[in-house]
Amino acid sequence: MSNKVIYAIYNDDDILMDAVKKTRAAHHHIEEVFTPFPVHGLDKAMGIAPTRLAICAFLYGCVGISVATAMMNYIMIQDWPQDIGGKPSFSYIENMPAFVPIMFELTVFFSAHLMVITFYMRSKLWPFKEAENPDVRTTDDHFLMEVAVNNNEEELVSFFQSTGAVEVKVIEKH
Amino acid sequence: MYTFSSKLKTFSFLLMAIGVLGIGYGFWSAPKDIQEVETLLAAESHGSHGEVKHETSKPVEEHVVSNGHEEAQSTKEGNAIVSPTDSTSEVINEVHENSLHTEVAVKKGEHEISEEVKHAEHAEHLNHVLHQLQNKPWAAFYVACIFFMLVSLGVLAFYAIQQVAQAGWSPVLFRVMQGITSYLPVGSVVFFIVLLLCGLHLNHLFIWLDPEVVATDKLIANKAGYLNFPFWIVRAAIFLTGWSLYHYYSRKNCLAQDEASDDLFYKKNFKLSAMFLVFFIVTESIMSWDWIMSIDPHWFSTLFGWYVFSSFFVSGITTIALVTLYLKSRGFLEHVNTSHIHDLAKFMFGFSIFWTYLWFSQYMLIWYANIPEEVTYYITRIELYNLPFFGAVVMNFVFPLLILVNTDFKRITWVLVMAGAVILVGHYIDFFNMIMPGTVGDRWFIGVSEIASVLFFLGLFIYVVFTALTKVPLLPKRNPFIEESKHFHY
């Protein structure tokens, strides 16, 4: 079974947006779109589900503040409640203002770093990862839409030529 | 053009009427002289005991009770057969007799030594309570008055920032902001009259205005170069006039720009707004010392001006959002979409956090260093105003943080109205916390005076703002950014 895909290449983001909308209207399945910079509204035009990264970040922040509270409560109040400069160490709440800067920073720290790591894992990014670039020009000034071919090669090629593509290629994918 | 709905108009008149009645009741029910306070205090301390007797007898009683406990335990151990209730009641009787004896003895001793001192202390205490109770309706009026005036000032500052920043999203809201800031001249007049009345010694809101206090208080006397009535009232006049002038000319230029054929009036407004912002930040700082911090003239804080600013600025933005949502729901703001609302909600969220940052910075620095001359400010508030003091943090920080952090919620009308109402009430309480402890102390209560004052100014605010909104079209015509603003989409 052949795994043929079409690479439709554009040189303008407005033409790309129109092409994406037409492709969706014609019910061709868009595998991927490669662009050199973020194109506003592309995700909406492609119908991609909204990201849940912000929800992750919020939950990571909750973890961060819990870690900070548990750590300082154990160290400063439970384990060795010393009198340091007259600060009340009888209970956590009594000495809380002094802990707030750390609680804040750890919340931000956990939220930010864990969210970034989540982003890397979800988008499969790491050092020495092999680049998945179908055409070197897409990092510079060209836009590429990849669409699967299901025995309708001629129809697709003519369709994409009509959408303003500067180049339409049929590629055998492995 | 906006038409003032007759229902809203009636509602505002109703609020003002109820407010006036309540304020009148507050002044009428405040004690007039020492005798009234004495009967009031006597009623509070359960009839027969006077305040001073009550205070002196307290430690003796406590002492006796603790003795009684010890004895009760020892007798229980000794007579195991006797039922515990019997033994304790016997002991209590015994202890009661003892306590009577000791009380009498103590009273006799003190009676001889310090009869006169006690009388003087008692009179002083009564005088103190009398001042606090007489201040109560004044302070309630003052808090509501300054709160609503500063809300419209916050809107004015926001408006000026939008002009100077050449914001592309906000011009469709300029007329709404101008409408809200129309309250500023009206509120300023009322507020200035209150300041004058303070200067005429009709109340004791500012103790440094009392020459007797200044004569005996060296700390205040040393500040007399700054805290004296003529200088203070002239400063107030300059600030209030300056702000109102900016409001007047900015609105005038904005209307002239509608009819102009070039952008001259727009540029004029740009320069005027930039100058106003410089004037504003200086006067705002001084204003906060004059009208709020000087209520506690022994205390000072360097970031107080910013703290006050953040409080009324976020209230101002919230008011813009609420008025916009109201007008939008009545179909008067055609070009305002959820993206504009979303932006306002982001400002509400961001500046709520900013307020908390300053609130905490001020609190934590003073708590941490614990220098007696500064820390009394917070000790009064935490001991006497525990719920309002920490409740304000919950309402102004925790609630908006959890509600407005969500992007989708920032576009939902009822969520915003709810969050906005909580933020506004929270910041009223914030001003309450700043002013009440220095004026009424532990005699605070959110009762008729406080609620009626808020209702009166709310009614006045609604009436003035919505009347001003009917005067001109709600969409500026020839603002250079108006097209961008109409199509603003986030």
pLDDT at B112: 55
Exposure string (b/e) for A134-146, b if CB count within 10 Å is 16 or more? bbebbeeebbbbb
B residues 334-363 closer than 8 Å to A (CB)? 360, 363
Does the pLDDT of residue B348 top 60, yes or no? yes
Q: What is the pLDDT of residue B109?
A: 53
The Cα of B322 is separated from the nearest Cα of chain A by a number of Å equal to: 27
For B453-461, what is the mean pLDDT? 97
Instruction: Kindly report, residue by residue over B378-426, the tens digit of the pLDDT.
Output: 999 999 999 999 999 999 999 999 999 999 999 999 999 999 999 999 9
Q: Measure CA of the first residue to CA of the last residue in chain B; give whole Å.
A: 27
| A55-69 mean pLDDT | 97
Give me the amino acid identity at B399.
F
Contacting residues of A for B405, CB less than 8 Å apart: 58
B215–chain A Cβ distance below 8 A for any pair: no
Q: How far apart (Å, rounded) are the C-alpha atoms in residues A131 and B381? A: 62
**Three-point CA angle B125, B129, B133, nearest 5°:** 170
The matching CATH number, chosen from 3.40.50.1220, 3.30.70.260, 3.90.180.10, 3.40.50.300, for A4-36+138-172 is: 3.30.70.260
**Domain residue ranges in chain A:** 4-36+138-172, 52-123
Write out chain B residues lying below 8 Å of A97, CB-based: 360, 363-364, 367-368
Range name among B84-93, B116-125, B272-281 with the lowest pLDDT average:
B84-93
CB contact under 8 A, A54 and B367: no
> What is residue B84's predicted lDDT score, i.e. its pLDDT?
42
Q: Is B372 on the interface with A (CB under 8 A)?
A: no
| Structure-model confidence comparison of residues B68 and A39, the more confident one | A39
Residue type, B365: L
**Contact status of B408 with chain A (Cβ, < 8 Å):** no
Contact A157, A170 (CB under 8 A): yes
Q: What pLDDT does B407 receive?
A: 92
**In the structure encoding, which two tokens stand for residue B411, read together?**
């576009």
| Beta partners for residue A170, in sequence order | A6
Shortest alpha-carbon distance between residue B353 and chain A (Å):
12
> For the residues A3-17, what does the mean pLDDT come to?
92
Partners of residue B370 in chain A, C-beta under 8 Å: 86
Over 50: is that where the pLDDT of B54 sits? Answer: no
Shortest Cα distance from B364 to chain A (angstroms)? Answer: 6
* A49 DSSP assignment: P
Give me the residue spans of the domains in chain B: 6-32+137-476
Interface probe with A: pick from B339, B354, B360, most Cβ of A within 10 Å:
B360
ipTM of the complex: 0.90
Using alpha carbons, select from B479, B475, B450, B466 the residue that is nearest to residue B4: B466
Tell me what pLDDT residue B44 has.
Answer: 78
The number of C-alpha atoms within 13 Å of B140 and in the hemisphere containing its C-beta is: 28
